[in-house]
Structure 1
Amino acid sequence: MKDPNLYLEITQQAEALCADEPDLIANLANISALLYERLDNINWAGFYINEQAQDQTLVLGPFQGKVACVRIPFGQGVCGSAAAEKQTKLVTDVHAFPGHIACDAASNSEIVIPIVKEQQVVAVLDIDSPDLGRFNEDDQAGLEKLLNLLESLNWSFYVK
């Protein structure tokens, strides 16, 4: 059974790590490391950044795990779908997801949460697991608690 306070603790730790630090990349790097360290049965945690809004392409950002796909167009794969639709994607079996992009063949489930600033998707938080059905609605609700912090970071370079 998961610790019911896990996501609250993660959010509090992330807030403490980001307090008084203006650098976006440093903050995203620490948050991805924190998630990778604290969450069980995951093999990748990180961010894809929408570097140029007009391109609608996510570019690999800070992460923990194996090497990853570098560019993902909006609308493609789980990350691109979450970005295009501006909604969280909780996928219990990535192999059943139409158009899934297999960056790591060991990944079987995934959750992707878009980060929106001024009605624009500036990035997505992506977490993968080798376990089928690793993520559920409790994980989604817990990870979405990070959105206030993530959206409060300095995205000015990426907001067009």
Structure 2
Amino acid sequence: MAANRSRDDEPRLAKPVDETPTRRLATLRREARHCRRCPLWRPATQTVSGVGPAAARMLLVGEQPGNQEDLEGLPFVRPAGILLRELLDEARIDVATVYLTNTVKHFKFERRGKVRLHKRAPASEQAACRPWLAAELDRLRPEVVVALGAMAAQTLFGSGFRVTVERGR
């Protein structure tokens, strides 16, 4: 099977030496649009890359885009995005200073009639997206990384991480 894969199936995670962090993130977003590492790209509307300033000191990692994120091409638009922005505001953190991304870059769903219902991406699809998150971390080098959800935490800390066990630590 691997012998039949074309070079276009592999992610292009170039690491330009002389680009500014902002240009390096823009390059990464362009490269992610052509990702074919797993089958999620086929039914999805588009790749949902991270957004925020290249100088962000804080990176918030969600699990995977939802229907609205897939349609708009941006992470955390609604309803989770609305709640996240309210909580950031309450904590006196300006969302414009934070980089927002997800562990999985395409919307995984199950169609029920005209409705697309969220479905959790399996481990293989999560693993296929890890190079993109790793590249974002490499380019940003944030001081603080916050995992929003079990999938995000397991991506960052390993598959043995359990929110129920680690909560409060």
The structure with more helix, counted as a fraction of residues? 2
Greater CA radius of gyration, 1 or 2?
A: 2
The bucket for the TM-score relative to the shorter chain is 0.3 to 0.5
Q: TM-score, normalised by structure 2?
A: 0.39
The structure with more strand, counted as a fraction of residues? 1
